[in-house]
Structure 1
Amino acid sequence: MDLEAVCGPSVPFFKMQGCGNDFVCVDNRELGYDPADMPDMVVAVCRRAFGVGADGMIFLDQAPAGSGLAYIWHFFNADGSRAEMCGNGSRCAARLAWMLGLAPASHVFGTDAGPIEAVVDPDSSQVTVRLTDPKDLRMDLTVEIEHQELPLHFVNTGVPHAVAVVEDLEAVEVWKLGRAVRFHEFFKPAGTNVNFVAVEGPGRLSLRTYERGVEDETYACGTGAVASAVVARKLGLTGEETVITTTGGEELGVILKDGKTYLRGAAELVFTGAFFPQSLGLDL
């Protein structure tokens, strides 16, 4: 049977995951979708059970001539909101670009947060990215949640992150508490991602994150891992290098050295396929 005759034209995609943070990736160089049309596609494709299902969607695109970039990306959260940066997404994008021959193992690509340096290990699934410098660090904040004061710290690692250091990570009601902080008056209008972090030993943290845009706890968050490491180092809990165990059980490495910020971890191509926009109610 000719599937496209029945279901309409299809769009090829790549399903990537970095520490359980999963993304639908599209090579947009020849498809040429207008970024203005992408949010509707993202919402339909990322919807679990009814679409492919993902935490977000990445479109790889041609870099402007003379920019010195290997490519640019358009990154969207599952709710269709465009995000400046995503740590795990950047590692997935870099490895996919290398696999597609779009970029060499060591390259620079463009994001809304600025250029990102990436190094793909050709012999493993490990990818290291240099993220934009953390900014707007604010320590020892307090917000009121249901008549109780919650101590927080804040830093922007490409996107905004609140960080709470806790003793019993498993006991935290991440969806309830994270959602309350994410939409708290203090962080309006943009809102914030919310991280709950516990110290597991010298240079080791465990992390659970409520992600803005996904509006739920995710298996991992790269920029959240970096934010947690920045705060932990400021508090004297870790040093230049931190190993962070995510909800999915994977490990991310954060290196804060000589004023530079690096995130290291695995990025896997899980499967390839094609989705049918017409079946998702999309008119492209």
Structure 2
Amino acid sequence: RIMNPDGSEAPMCGNGVRCLAKFAADRGIARHRLSIETLAGMIYADVKGERVKARMVEPTDLKLNFEIRVRGRKERLNFVNTGVPHAVKMVDFVSRCDVDGLGAAIRRHPYFAPHGANVDFVSLRKDGALDVRTYERGVEGETLACGTGSTAAALVFAAQKNLKSPVLVYTKSGETLKIYFSRAGIGFFGVYLEGRIIKTFEGSAAL
């Protein structure tokens, strides 16, 4: 179960389940290939050294190129649920985006009611890689990386710009994620999220 800073519960977290898989494998709790049950469905992970590759739940509700009015102007968006709902906005440069301001307005827009949506601002590099910045509901602000958001960005750009699998995604943290997928018409299946998992600290808490 994934708990957000505001106390709400997220159906799943792409990077979170990869961290859990790495922790379980390192501690001998599970083998290096394991399954993790989430509220969004079963995630299957493969741990190889520092890299963890997770098969995500099947994406749903893909909708491309629609407009909503936000703060007095039209915003063109895309949408896909990759375990959690994501609104994806294509931009020229993610460095110039008002992620917290515009992200919050889109996240709470009536179009995405009642649950809202995470909001991903995404730009395309010349080599076909993506830069992604994400405003996450439950955090109510920008995060350093979002696995489901990076996955959503890759799928939307594959649908819109015909990107091929795998797609390399650069996150705000500086880490890169790799998204694999197969296509069936306008839909996607066999979606995987891969990247490094690095242990940064260890501690204990009295509960």
What TM-score, normalized by structure 2, do the two folds share? 0.94
- Partner Cα distance (1:77, 1:225) in 2: 18
Distance across 2 between alignment mates of 1:176 and 1:247: 17
Residue pairs, 1:96-115, within 5 angstroms: 96-115=23-42
Structure 1 CA distance, aligned partners of 2:98 and 2:38?
32
Deviation of 1:204 after TM superposition, in Å, equals: 0.4
Q: What's the offset of the Cα at 1:270?
A: 1.5
Residue 201 of structure 1 and its aligned partner are, at CA, apart by 2.3
Shift of 1:81: 0.9
State the match for 1:188 in structure 2.
113
**More displaced stretch, 145-154 vs 268-277:** 268-277
Instruction: Give the 3-state SS of the residue equivalent to 2:19 in structure 1.
Output: helix
Q: Which runs of at least 4 in structure 1 moved beyond 2 Å after TM superposition?
A: none
Mapped contact 1:131–1:263 kept (Cα < 8 A)? yes
Distance in 2 separating the partners of 1:109 and 1:90? 7
The match for 2:14 among 69, 72, 87 is 87
Question: Is the partner of 1:177 in helix, strand or coil?
Answer: helix
SS of equivalent to 1:270: coil
* Residue 247 (str. 1) matches residue 172 (str. 2): yes
Higher relative CO (CA 8 A, sep ≥ 6), structure 1 or 2?
A: 1
Query: Where in structure 1 are there 5+ consecutive unaligned residues?
Result: 1-73, 278-284
Partner residue in 1 for 2:135:
210
Question: Which residue of structure 2 lines up, in the alignment, with residue 65 of structure 1?
Answer: none
Partner of 1:197: 122
Displacement of 1:237 in angstroms is 4.5
Residues 256-271 of structure 1: pairs in structure 2 closer than 5 A: 256-257=181-182, 259-271=189-201
- Tell me the alpha carbon deviations over residues 40-97 of structure 1, each in whole angstroms, 9 at most, x when there is no partner: xxxxxxxxxxxxxxxxxxxxxxxxxxxxxxxxxx111121111111111011010001
Q: Which residue of 1 aligns with 2:66?
A: 141
Count of residue pairs brought into register by the alignment: 202
| Among candidates 43, 58, 77, match of residue 116 of structure 1 | 43
1:274 is aligned, of 180, 185, 204, to 204
2:50 partner letter: S
The percent identity for this pair of structures is: 40
Superposed CA RMSD: 1.1
CA contact (8 A) 2:17 2:36 kept: no
Matched with 2:2 is 75
Asked if structure 2 preserves the Cα contact closer than 8 Å seen for 1:78 and 1:213, the reply is yes
Match of 1:66 in 2: none
1:227 to 148, 152, 160: 152
